Structure 1
Amino acid sequence: MLNELSLSGFAHPWYFLGLLAVVVLVAGYLWIQRARRKRVLRFANMAVLDQVAPAQKSSRWRHVPAALLVAALALMTTAMAGPTDDVRVPRNRAVVMLVIDVSESMAATDVAPSRIEAARTAAAHFADQLTPGVNLGLVKFSSSAVMLVAPTADHDAVKRAISTLQPEPRTATGEGIFTALQAIATAGAVMGGGDGPPPARIVLESDGKETVPSDPDEPRGAFSAARAAKAQNVPISTISFGTPYGSVDLDGQQIPVPVDDSTLQTIVQITGGQAYHAGSLDELDSVYSALEQQVGYQTVRGDASASWIALALLALTAAVAAGILLNRRLPL
Structure 2
Amino acid sequence: MIELAHPWVFFLLPLPLLVWRFVAPYRQSVQALRFPSFARIVEALGITPEEGALLVARRRIQMIAGVLVWILLLLALARPERIGEAVEVTKAARDLMLVVDISESMDEEDFVTETGEPLQRLAAVKNVVGEFISEREGDRVALIVFGAKPFVQAPFTEDLQAVRDLLTLTTVGMAGPHTNLGDAIGLGIRSFEHSQVDQRLMILLSDGADTGSRMSPVNAAEIALQNGIQIYTIGVGDPDGGQADNQVDIAALQDIARRTGGQFFFADDTEGLAQIYDQIDQLAPRMVETISYRPRDSLAHLPAILAVLLTLASQFLMLFITRPRRAHA
Give the structure-2-normalised TM-score: 0.54
- What's the CA shift for 1:105? 0.8
CA contact 2:209–2:245 (8 Å) conserved in 1: no
Q: Work out the CA distance in 1 between the residues paired with 2:150 and 2:270.
A: 24
Identify the match of residue 122 of structure 2 among 112, 116, 130. Answer: 116
Q: In the alignment, residue 93 of structure 1 is paired with which amino acid? A: A
Paired residues for 1:145-294 under 5 Å: 145-168=150-173, 169-188=177-196, 197-213=197-213, 220-244=215-239, 247=242, 257-294=246-283
Q: Work out the CA distance in 2 between the residues paired with 1:124 and 1:91.
A: 22
Change (3 A) 1:247 1:116: farther
Q: Among the aligned pairs, what percent are the same residue?
A: 26
Q: Work out the CA distance in 2 between the residues paired with 1:107 and 1:175.
A: 21
Q: Work out the CA distance in 1 between the residues paired with 2:170 and 2:241.
A: 19
- What's the CA shift for 1:296? 3.5
The structure in which a higher percent of residues are strand is 2
> Counterpart of 1:4?
none
Change (3 A) 1:160 1:226: same
CA contact 1:202–1:237 (8 Å) conserved in 2: yes
What secondary structure does 2:195 align onto? helix
What secondary structure does 1:238 align onto? strand
Unaligned runs of 5+ in 2: 1-89, 112-117, 289-329
The structure in which a higher percent of residues are helix is 1
Q: Work out the CA distance in 2 between the residues paired with 1:95 and 1:146.
A: 18
CA contact 1:139–1:148 (8 Å) conserved in 2: yes
- What's the CA shift for 1:263? 1.1
CA contact 1:241–1:279 (8 Å) conserved in 2: yes
Give the structure-1-normalised TM-score: 0.54
What secondary structure does 2:92 align onto? coil
Residue correspondences, number? 191
Unaligned runs of 5+ in 1: 1-89, 189-196, 214-218, 249-254, 300-332
Change (3 A) 1:127 1:258: same
Q: Work out the CA distance in 2 between the residues paired with 1:126 and 1:264.
A: 21
> Counterpart of 1:100?
100
Identify the match of residue 125 of structure 1 among 127, 131, 144. Answer: 131
CA contact 1:101–1:140 (8 Å) conserved in 2: yes
Q: Work out the CA distance in 2 between the residues paired with 1:198 and 1:256.
A: 36
CA contact 1:105–1:247 (8 Å) conserved in 2: no
> Counterpart of 1:136?
141
- What's the CA shift for 1:257? 3.6
- What's the CA shift for 1:292? 2.3
Q: Work out the CA distance in 2 between the residues paired with 1:92 and 1:244.
A: 37
Change (3 A) 1:103 1:270: same
Q: Give CA deviations for 1:227-278 in whole Å, capped at 9, x if unaligned.
A: 1101111110000011346559xxxxxx994333111011112111011111
CA contact 1:245–1:256 (8 Å) conserved in 2: no
Question: Which of structure 1's runs of 4+ aligned residues deviate more than 2 A?
Answer: 243-248, 255-260, 292-299
Q: Work out the CA distance in 2 between the residues paired with 1:293 and 1:154.
A: 22
Q: Work out the CA distance in 2 between the residues paired with 1:236 and 1:149.
A: 18
Q: Work out the CA distance in 1 between the residues paired with 2:287 and 2:162.
A: 24
- What's the CA shift for 1:116? 0.8
Q: Give CA deviations for 1:198-224 in whole Å, capped at 9, x if unaligned.
A: 3101000001110023xxxxx622111
Structure number with bigger Rg: 2
